[in-house]
Structure 1
């Protein structure tokens, strides 16, 4: 049975994207363009919808990265927020190329992570599956449902390195070992699981550091089964992800 989960309201955080969006904006405020790798349906559309509900004074446009050049407005400023948990150089290169081709002069923000809000969303996704205590623990985590967590990502060694800061933030919340590993390449989850078990961590959980569009839905399940671990759901349209999108936009307004 899953532990009860309490989602916290957005609050100022340290590090990147710390500036919230002003409560009111002028009519000519930049358009927020949410750039999604792949399809704009499903989770990408859900995130855009949450941003619109939470920040109705922001005009939000959702577009696929492949269609970005044609989607950027002419004669109006725009801030492009990539729907990524880390600064994937291949996707960011596509985005910057599209912005240049459009001639719009749009500004591109960094990815959504690392950030404490991202770690909070990962924590809550684990708690929803009964794989973590629902509240942040500041003392020894006695009675934790698992012994260690593998933060799963895609994009090879570069992605594994990029999400290590998020792993540290999540480990601080859980007071458990958290290591990053690739779901689809080396250094992979099997190696991470072997090392954790050699150190005495028998009960493992995988926390996908994924929005939800990056890999086939069944990949996380297959990887977890292969290493005899349980897993959380991808981040999806969690309120913290929508808030990070808005904060990325707000940080550019401030500059």
Structure 2
């Protein structure tokens, strides 16, 4: 008669050997690849660059506001020229990290930098980067412009006028966009006449715009600084203000929201294949 204990021991030993062999074979199988975490594209805010040391610090504070609004989003600053980090270097870093990006121009209107320099930099670096629209004629931009005027001492008066000072460009689309910004700002200020003026490459200049408003009977003329940060052009424009000149837009909360709006709009357009 077979001993039950010996039968149990044999079955247990066989089961143990089977389990051991199965474990060995499973250990030889290739491990499944884990998917890398899905990241939103990096927001690269691209400024022109300036020799004014206040410019980079100002844009840094602006991007801090953007990070506060969107925790976890990778937000970086880059410059076309004059300041580090330069755009080429930032894009090369992103390629090495395997990240794609949305380039948000810290510029007010279309022009050579937006249509040529930014896409060319992305091609040189081999980066997967989409260029967003410039800041442009948007209510958030106008909100920031109006607030800066109030901070400078603006008060409603029938004899007031505003010169909207911006960098200027030979691209006709740029002038058209600045005129739209001027029209929106005039509406925001209750129908005050707002005349666009340019620091370079286009007319009228700030002094010419001031004279035009004076000829229309405007007694108190303010200069609205349509620049993202302090620099040579903003300083030149402010010098010609007969009354007050507002500070550049800088780290205004509305400008931070506008950067995120342009970023998200570029992402939506990419997903839609536009």
2:119 maps to what in 1?
Answer: 96
1:244 maps to what in 2?
Answer: 258
- Match for 2:69 among 42, 54, 60? 54
- Report matched runs for 1:80-95 at 5 Å: 80-90=103-113, 92-95=115-118
Q: Distance in 1 between matches of 2:120 and 2:261?
A: 24
Structure 1 residue runs of 4 or more that deviate by more than 4 Å after TM superposition = 156-160
Q: Distance in 2 between matches of 1:70 and 1:155?
A: 27
**2:206 maps to 1:192:** no
CA RMSD, 1 decimal: 2.1
Task: State the shift of 1:181 in Å.
Answer: 0.9
2:49 maps to what in 1?
Answer: 38
**2:163 maps to 1:150:** yes
1:170 maps to what in 2?
Answer: 185
Conserved 8 A contact 2:182-2:196: yes
1:23 maps to what in 2?
Answer: none
Task: State the shift of 1:156 in Å.
Answer: 4.8
Q: Distance in 1 between matches of 2:231 and 2:265?
A: 26
Gaps of 5+ in 1: 1-25, 133-142
Q: Distance in 2 between matches of 1:241 and 1:145?
A: 29
- Report matched runs for 1:8-23 at 5 Å: none
Q: Distance in 1 between matches of 2:104 and 2:264?
A: 11
1:69 maps to what in 2?
Answer: 88
Number of equivalences: 217
SS at match of 1:117: helix
Task: State the shift of 1:27 in Å.
Answer: 3.5
1:17 maps to what in 2?
Answer: none
Using the size of structure 2 for normalisation, the TM-score is 0.72
Deviation sequence 1:176-207 (CA, Å, 0-9, x none): 11110113463112222222122111111010
Higher gyration radius (CA): 2
SS at match of 1:57: coil
Q: Residues 217 and 100 from structure 1, CA distance in 2 versus in 1: closer, same or farther, beyond 3 angstroms?
A: same
Conserved 8 A contact 1:86-1:111: yes
Q: Residues 157 and 202 from structure 1, CA distance in 2 versus in 1: closer, same or farther, beyond 3 angstroms?
A: farther
Q: Distance in 1 between matches of 2:225 and 2:62?
A: 17
**2:246 maps to 1:232:** yes
2:33 maps to what in 1?
Answer: none
Q: Residues 181 and 251 from structure 1, CA distance in 2 versus in 1: closer, same or farther, beyond 3 angstroms?
A: same
Q: Distance in 2 between matches of 1:154 and 1:214?
A: 10
Stretch moving more, 165-174 or 87-96: 87-96
Conserved 8 A contact 1:126-1:231: yes
Q: Distance in 1 between matches of 2:39 and 2:247?
A: 38
Deviation sequence 1:150-196 (CA, Å, 0-9, x none): 10112256554431101011011112111101134631122222221
Q: Distance in 2 between matches of 1:96 and 1:90?
A: 9
Q: Residues 254 and 218 from structure 1, CA distance in 2 versus in 1: closer, same or farther, beyond 3 angstroms?
A: closer
Task: State the shift of 1:242 in Å.
Answer: 0.9
Task: State the shift of 1:59 in Å.
Answer: 1.1
